[in-house]
A and B are shown apart, each in its own frame.
Chain A
């Protein structure tokens, strides 16, 4: 079986495989160039960009919790102008797709960002409407149905060619509702989940372990929750769903694909093993070979009975 087809489509983007990197865990890609061949990735999602540079939160910004970590980076980033000048040229040299994650404090911020990025020839953006860290930031968009609908529609109107991915917040009680809103308002795809707001306390000092008090939980600890949400979303919408949350290896990635994700993003897993994405691509390939499945599309949504491949254990 040399003719394995791993390619998937996310809106107008054609990815050579479904393995992407999660925003905020992969810098602007150069950080990983010593460890892996970036050209093998399905797509790279860069650190969230705002209109103006953001300084981020005071330390400590991260701490470890069982099977996971909390972060309150505070969306530190170089801002749109510096991104275009200093980071984009390197990304353009790569033979892989990249997606610019964006964040703002108002609809007009998101609109300006998407328009400038489209004008600069960027093919795809991911709207971070769910970051739990910044008090005035995305949280209100991602958890309020009317505001989310308005935000996505406005971005869609102002940037019509770009592939628009909406990254959903897990901080809602009804994921299918928000997935549907994202689809109906013009998103080409949805990605989920962002981190889950959480807290860790130092019992010796009686202080929170992060200076920001709360932070976003990521890593293997959130995987079962993410998987359930991806499954719910994938049953609800027709646009592609990108699964994120605690993916450490190929088995985790395959679980998400079987639950209905068309592609997956690796976040915290990159910190533990900077070669995780490549190991996952290789692992998916050998899984497909072992199962005698020649097209990755044949496992997507497999748990819903859509699987056309041979799934007996041979």
Chain B
């Protein structure tokens, strides 16, 4: 069940010049989120900015929730100044989360930029797994230690070659497909990142008969299905990213 609740800021620290890690403790009991779900966070209680902002949770610990956010505009610009102890307004958790299959399919997770938050919420809960993670520069890659510790096999790239392989995650995906032909028919992809990246991955997946799911983003006003503002075109007509999504099968999305 989703809730409208207040939370206390436990830590809010910069991981690099653009990306922050926020840890909060809800002041009341809230529902435990499942991987891929998100919360709406109010950057400020004045009316400018007005709306809450959507953020995927990164990790959940006993009555603590962590988020990873990039500074983009007005809202996140205010969030970076949240002092420790501040009480903030939130709602959530929302969204359908990643469908986790209890069969012997092998999960391949793909993250671009801050899509890593949503992807790590799932990655940490899986056993046998692969991860492809890309960012523009080394500075924008975060939580590499965490990824190393959690045991799967991972491949990293940066657009400017400052870390890992040079290039984009879709090139790494092509490499993965050719080097893992023995298992590729059992692989299922879960992806989160910028729309052009998701589109490209979904195309490669379909060319190779690989099933997969993408977590989409759209501007949101409510987060819980009431405003119809977050609609995206799908083969079933317009669907709400916040409610029927955020996770859709590749085959359902009209890019």
Contact = CB atoms under 8 A, between A and B. Distances in A.
A61 B225 contact: no
Interface string B1-33: 111100000000000000000000000000000
Contact of B227 (A71, A248, A273): A71
A253 B220 CA distance: 25
Contacts of A25: 226-227
Nearest to B233: A58
A67 B226 contact: no
A67 B133 CA distance: 37
Contact of B3 (A27, A34, A71, A272): A34
Interface in A107-122: none
Chain B interface, >50% SS class: loop
Nearest to B241: A59
Contact of B221 (A35, A248, A271): A271
Interface in A57-108: 58-64, 66-69, 71, 73, 76
B204 interface: no
A248 B4 CA distance: 16
Interface residues of B, number: 30
A36 to B, nearest CB: 9
Given A220-B47, A273-B89, A274-B4, A62 B221 contact: yes
A271 B226 CA distance: 8
A166 interface: no
B2 A34 contact: yes
A47 B96 CA distance: 23
B50 to A, nearest CB: 6
Nearest to B232: A59
Nearest to A274: B4
B224 A67 contact: no
Given A60-B218, A67-B47, A220-B47, A274 B227 contact: no
Interface in B183-230: 218-222, 224-230
Given A270-B222, A270-B226, 10 more contacts: A24-B227, A55-B237, A59-B218, A59-B219, A64-B219, A67-B47, A67-B48, A69-B51, A73-B228, A272-B50
* 9 A-B pairs with least C-beta separation: A62-B229, A271-B222, A31-B226, A27-B226, A220-B47, A271-B221, A67-B47, A73-B228, A67-B48
10 contacts: A26-B226, A27-B225, A34-B224, A47-B228, A55-B238, A59-B219, A60-B218, A64-B51, A268-B50, A274-B4
